[in-house]
Amino acid sequence: MIEKFLESYVKKIVAYPEQVAVESRLLKDENMKLLDVFVGVQDMGRVIGKEGKMIAALKTFVSGCKAKDGLTYKITVHPNNE
């Protein structure tokens, strides 16, 4: 569910939404879900934002889901090399 939200939101802020993909991995021993966001190289700056403010806002929003499911989330942005 978080993955779908993150993917749809990121697609709205990038210039090339067809290059956006979100993958998740669950680390059960650490009770953590890793969210990897793949975007086009030209859109990396849009997703990260000035001084990292955009990605920080996304991380803050997603961390609010911890209260609901008890998982900790970690978001990383990667260039999509398709």
Interval 47-57: pLDDT, tens: 999 999 999 99
- What is the percent of the chain where pLDDT is above 90? 68
Which pLDDT value is given to residue 82?
Answer: 64
Please give the full DSSP string across 41-61, using - where no structure is assigned. Answer: GGGHHHHH-GGGHHHHHHHHH
Residue 59 structure tokens: 């991380």
Backbone angles phi, psi at 40, to 5 degrees: -60, 150
First to last CA, the chain: 25
Q: What percent of the chain has pLDDT over 70?
A: 98
Threshold 0.85, pTM exceeds: yes
pLDDT digits (tens, 9 = 90+) for 27-71: 888 889 999 999 999 999 999 999 999 999 999 888 887 767 888
